[in-house]
Structure 1
Amino acid sequence: MAEPKELALRYPQSCPFCSIAAAYRYAAAASPSPAAKQPQRQDETRAGQDMTAAAAAASNSLLASIPSSPSAIDPAKVSPAAYVVLSAPRVLAFLDIMPMTRGHLLVTTRRHRRKVEELVGGGGSIKGEDGDENGEEGEGECKGEVGDDEDEDEEGEEGRDIGFWLPLLAKTVATVIGVPDYNIVQNNGIRAAQVVPHVHFHIIPRPASLPALQNKSWTMFGRGAREDLDDDEAAALAARMRDALRVEVEALARRKGRRGRGRL
């Protein structure tokens, strides 16, 4: 693991992830088409069309979480540079600036949560719509410490959104890097090797050049050399990950659409 002093030189802010969240806001998708808003008709053909339109609207909402415009992906908006792959209402993903291996990705919350126990969990569905629920109102700002009754996500969607995006991002990393094995690690507290005090998950590819860890479950994921991220390579790598993530989201939307039509 990198030494705390070494990280402090690169992350001088009190919370660098809050700075990234503030700089890379969620861009809400366009409003659903009138067809998507229409109530389902009795006619099965019309109902199928309405469901397809609704699935398309949901897909567009999720795709809006994957930044594409030059301003939305500009790495120079923060210092050190950030190479953003996901900018969702409650979740962000960007390349680690001191990767253990190529493709080392961080997945974090927009709101400032120090440990995973502070995540607001619960059920529901990702809405990604305009208004208070999409996280546009101040969620990019560092809120500092979270008390028992303040800064709550009443819908309980923060933890669920992490659970939604993490598998998609893991598959994205594996696809782009071409390495099927990876670690997903989340540290809580300084004794547990957490350096940045903002809850985050590491997705770390394990290429064939690294030793296999079977029968060595005690081995810590973070032992090994970490090098500075190369800016040119990082920009190209983040772009490939965004493209691959779009493919995963579109495929997910198609699967959900087919299952929905099968229930008619």
Structure 2
Amino acid sequence: MTSPAPPSSCVFCQIVHSVGARTSSLALTSLEPDVYVFLATRSHIAILDHQPLVSSLSHILLIPRTHAVRLSDVPDYELPDLGPILKLLGRAICDCFAVDDYNVVQNNGPAAGQLVPHVHFHIVARPSTYLAAAAAPAPSGSVTAAAAAPATLRDRTRYSSTIFARGERTDLDPSCAEQSSKILRQYLDEHLPLWLRPKL
């Protein structure tokens, strides 16, 4: 199925258009308040999510430049870049934010939880402290530092609601996204392979 022409109201198409052909990550800046672009390749851009998940250290959105509503609609010529970019972004959040664990999530259609009708991937850094916080508390009421993965259904439910909870972040100050974007931009400018960079 071929994707329809991008609607003028598509927020991700607007961001892609604003980025244009800029290729040097270090030349990228905030396009407007709450839109922090830190990666531009020939086929994709990456931004920080303006409403990151509550338990995430860093929540990245990877967006194909070509408008497509579902992953099955993405043109074949963009797919060879997708795997290497996702892998690179996974390494970037681990190295930049000192975590080992992260999610890669991609939703297709409203019933699957897709809010913006333009294909995008969520790459979410997960600090191990959230696993410990979701585990059963020690008898003293404190959380055990060496908590194992939640074992009971109740523990797993509590853990899932913790890591996937949406809501306004209260632990971030206005400069946090700007600083995170700068850190990621510098990392990716050093590590992005030349073959992924757009030809000018």
TM-score by length of 2: 0.71
1:67 aligned to 2:22?
no
Q: Output one character per residue of 1:87-143: Cα deviation in whole Å (capped at 9) or x when no partner.
A: 11210100000001121000011111101001122xxxxxxxxxxxxxxxxxxxxxx
Which of 1 and 2 has greater Rg? 1
Of 57, 70, 75, the match for 1:102:
57
- Does structure 1 retain, via aligned residues, the 8 Å contact 2:63–2:120? yes
1:244 aligned to 2:164?
no
Q: 1:196 — aligned with what?
A: 116
Root mean square deviation of aligned Cα: 2.7
Q: Tell me which stretches of 4 or more aligned residues in structure 1 moved more than 2 Å.
A: 211-217, 219-223, 225-231, 246-250
Q: 1:136 — aligned with what?
A: none
Aligned counterparts of 1:205 and 1:226: Cα–Cα separation in 2: 17
Identity %: 32
1:90 aligned to 2:33?
no
TM-score by length of 1: 0.55
Aligned counterparts of 1:160 and 1:221: Cα–Cα separation in 2: 34
- Does structure 1 retain, via aligned residues, the 8 Å contact 2:68–2:74? yes
Tell me by how many angstroms 1:85 deviates: 1.3
> Structure 2 vs 1, CA of residues 196 and 188 (structure 1 numbering), >3 Å: closer, same or farther?
same
Q: 1:43 — aligned with what?
A: none
Tell me by how many angstroms 1:247 deviates: 2.8
- Does structure 2 retain, via aligned residues, the 8 Å contact 1:183–1:221? no
> Structure 2 vs 1, CA of residues 115 and 238 (structure 1 numbering), >3 Å: closer, same or farther?
same
SS in 2 for 1:106: strand
| Unpaired stretches in structure 1, ≥5 consecutive residues | 1-12, 28-64, 122-155, 254-264
Aligned counterparts of 2:176 and 2:103: Cα–Cα separation in 1: 22
Tell me by how many angstroms 1:220 deviates: 8.0
SS in 1 for 2:25: coil
Tell me by how many angstroms 1:185 deviates: 0.5
Aligned residues: 162
SS in 2 for 1:244: helix
SS in 2 for 1:102: coil
